[in-house]
Structure 1
Amino acid sequence: MTNSPDILCIGSVLWDVIGRSASHMEKGADVPGRITRLPGGVAMNIAMTLRRFGRSPALLTAVGRDAEGDELIAECIRMGMVCDHVYRSDDLPTDRYMAVEGANGLIAAIADAHSLEAAGAKILAALENGTLSSRAAPYSGTIALDGNLTEALLTQIASDAMFRDADLRIAPASPGKAERLQPFLRNGRGMLYVNLEEAGILCQTTFKSAAEAGARLLERGAQRALVTDGGRPACDASADGVLVQCPPKVLVTRVTGAGDTFMAAHMSAELDGQPRDAALDRALQAAAAYVSGDTGL
């Protein structure tokens, strides 16, 4: 494949260790199930879905020069990611994410993205040194950005002229990191992809619907916001109005990575020139197929 990407995915690329059981689980449960390890992280999950839609994503992230890192990079290349610009650290280990899912959804998860946080702005070198762009000629393509970066680096990106021409799409990574996206509200930059809980955290309140949350995010400064609410209606809120659609009804077999799949499918649809309603529909269809297990991802 070519080493010229058509979209950048900035953020976490790591190993996902996921335990899944068909049983309903509560605190302290000990049940049979399956444990898998596969490439993951928000930026990686987005990139994998972009590949499904024929895109050529480049990863800007931090991966250790350990055995796990070598294996992860090899797998990313095998799947068609451009890894030329990944920051490889001699001192930092490759990050990991661990989750447990039951029949009643996500039970618990821990994201160990400390190496990504420690690498900081080093992962953005290719945007500044002329490899992909420079301060004199900022990157003007689409960027998927995830909230696993530090608050300081996200604050820098939200106001940095180096990103002024980019089509910036941002996901919080998890409700626990949603607050990190406040700088994008303050600067009115980028498009936010959040679920109902994350929207509530950003707006310091609770919402009854995605449409209500999307409208409030616009009031608080968001340039545009896509809000999902599980199997309930999702919305695309922008200056052109609040568009609402219902996702397909499916049997949920997995949840980790569903939001990333939704975001990537929506971005790809818009890059294909699809209108707002068609792009939102594609994203909802892709997310539904993912959680039902009807895709190879």
Structure 2
Amino acid sequence: MDDRHDILCIGSVLWDVIGRTDRAMRVGSDVPGRIARVPGGVAMNIAMALARLGLRPELLTALGRDPAGEELLEAARRRGIGTEHVYLSDDLPTDAYMAVEGANGLIAAIADAHSLEAAGDKILRPLADGRLGNAAAPYRGTVALDGNLTFELLGEIAASPLFAGADLRVAPASPGKAERLLPLLDHPRATLYVNLEEAGLLAHRSFDSSADAARALVAQGAHRVLVTHGGRGCSLACGDLLLTETPPEVLVARVTGAGDTFMAAHIAAEIRGAEPPAALTRALEAAALYVSGDTPL
């Protein structure tokens, strides 16, 4: 068993190409701004945030044996993120993500995570072959899992003895992939991190508040759920417990990766022993700092 890390981050690791402008945009807008290429993907964003918070994350993902993949491996290592168990493919290219953000938020995005999907359960081999665990002695640490994996693989994870002892922290990659998490909705060891739209997709209904959404998902079988709603109230529900808190008000400079930062900060606070109200507060403060642009990438 590998004890050189604090948490496994399983899912997408890719290059984010993000165009940002301080002007409001609509379909067809052509405006000046800045374009950046930075490490991204849900699993990578969570890992980077965890590393900034002083934890030691380890990646389980798929990268191509290409220059883009080699650059990502080096970028992860520089940030204190473990890459020993990354699956490297000779025939699949490294994935990518492209987004445009304006003063009025995310305008559009395309996620190309086809290589991660094609790699399938190959990325989980270290959990089965003894390097990180096996069916007889499953991994018992914290696992951050993202919805860029296929519906079929997430279903296998939900029923797998390899994850029977893990503290699962699960997030969809986007509203478009939220329903991939349905196999994990009633998992007895899973905490779901979703926004209001994603909660509605999982529950097959719409909600007016994060509190209503969190209560509904728990009633539907979720063990524990955190529902964010931008700058409005964020709610945590688990059994009879319901907490709601409003994030600090900040000037929004970026949005891509904010939910991943929130999730990472909440996990880090709980790993260090914070009680539910304090962990929720720390997560909201970290996300606010990130969207304000004051957190380095």
Q: Could you say whether these structures have the same fold, taking a TM-score greater than 0.5 normalized by the shorter chain as the test?
A: yes
Code of the residue aligned with 1:161 in structure 2: it is P
Q: Is the 8 A contact 1:15 1:39 kept in 2?
A: yes
* 1:197-235 Cα distance to aligned partner (Å, 9 max, x none): 000000011100000000000011101000000000001
* 1:136-173 Cα distance to aligned partner (Å, 9 max, x none): 10000000000000000000111111101100000001
Quote the residue 2:145 is aligned against.
145
Q: Is the 8 A contact 2:211 2:235 kept in 1?
A: yes
Quote the residue 1:293 is aligned against.
293
Quote the residue 1:54 is aligned against.
54
Code of the residue aligned with 1:165 in structure 2: it is G
Mapping of 1:222-241 within 5 angstroms? 222-241=222-241
Question: What is the CA RMSD across the aligned residues, in angstroms?
Answer: 1.0
Q: Is the 8 A contact 1:189 1:222 kept in 2?
A: no
Q: Is the 8 A contact 1:73 1:83 kept in 2?
A: yes
Q: Is the 8 A contact 1:158 1:189 kept in 2?
A: no
- 2 CA distance for matches of 1:49 and 1:87? 22
Q: Is the 8 A contact 2:93 2:115 kept in 1?
A: yes
Quote the residue 2:168 is aligned against.
168
Code of the residue aligned with 1:130 in structure 2: it is G
Code of the residue aligned with 1:7 in structure 2: it is I
Q: Is the 8 A contact 2:148 2:173 kept in 1?
A: yes
Q: Is the 8 A contact 1:185 1:222 kept in 2?
A: yes
- 2 CA distance for matches of 1:190 and 1:36? 34
Q: Per-residue deviation at 1:187?
A: 3.9
Quote the residue 1:67 is aligned against.
67
Structure 1: which 5+ runs fail to align?
A: none
Quote the residue 1:128 is aligned against.
128
Question: TM-score normalised to the size of structure 2?
Answer: 0.98
- 1 CA distance for matches of 2:3 and 2:156? 27
- 2 CA distance for matches of 1:288 and 1:198? 20
- 1 CA distance for matches of 2:83 and 2:215? 38
Say which SS state the counterpart of residue 12 (structure 2) adopts.
Answer: coil
- 2 CA distance for matches of 1:5 and 1:118? 27
- 2 CA distance for matches of 1:6 and 1:188? 21
Code of the residue aligned with 2:259 in structure 1: it is G
Quote the residue 1:276 is aligned against.
276
Aligned residues: 296
Q: Per-residue deviation at 1:188?
A: 4.1
Code of the residue aligned with 2:231 in structure 1: it is G
- 2 CA distance for matches of 1:262 and 1:108? 21
- 2 CA distance for matches of 1:218 and 1:279? 19
Quote the residue 1:194 is aligned against.
194
Say which SS state the counterpart of residue 232 (structure 1) adopts.
Answer: coil
Q: Is the 8 A contact 1:121 1:153 kept in 2?
A: yes
- 2 CA distance for matches of 1:176 and 1:32? 29
- 2 CA distance for matches of 1:256 and 1:265? 16
- 2 CA distance for matches of 1:136 and 1:48? 31
Quote the residue 1:6 is aligned against.
6
- 2 CA distance for matches of 1:296 and 1:255? 14
Tell whether 2:1 aligns with 1:17.
Answer: no
Q: Per-residue deviation at 1:186?
A: 4.2
Quote the residue 1:102 is aligned against.
102
Say which SS state the counterpart of residue 152 (structure 1) adopts.
Answer: helix
* 1:33-87 Cα distance to aligned partner (Å, 9 max, x none): 0000010000000000100111000000000001111111111111111000000
Q: Per-residue deviation at 1:3?
A: 7.6
Deviates more, 1:240-249 or 1:26-35: 240-249
- Identity in percent: 64
Q: Is the 8 A contact 1:43 1:144 kept in 2?
A: yes
Question: TM-score normalised to the size of structure 1?
Answer: 0.98
Say which SS state the counterpart of residue 22 (structure 1) adopts.
Answer: coil
Q: Is the 8 A contact 1:8 1:58 kept in 2?
A: yes
Q: Is the 8 A contact 2:186 2:223 kept in 1?
A: no
Rate the CA distance shift 1:25–1:94 in 2: closer, same or farther, 3 A: same
4+ residue segments displaced more than 2 Å: 186-189
- 2 CA distance for matches of 1:9 and 1:187? 18
Quote the residue 1:91 is aligned against.
91
Quote the residue 1:217 is aligned against.
217
Q: Is the 8 A contact 1:5 1:57 kept in 2?
A: yes
Code of the residue aligned with 1:293 in structure 2: it is G
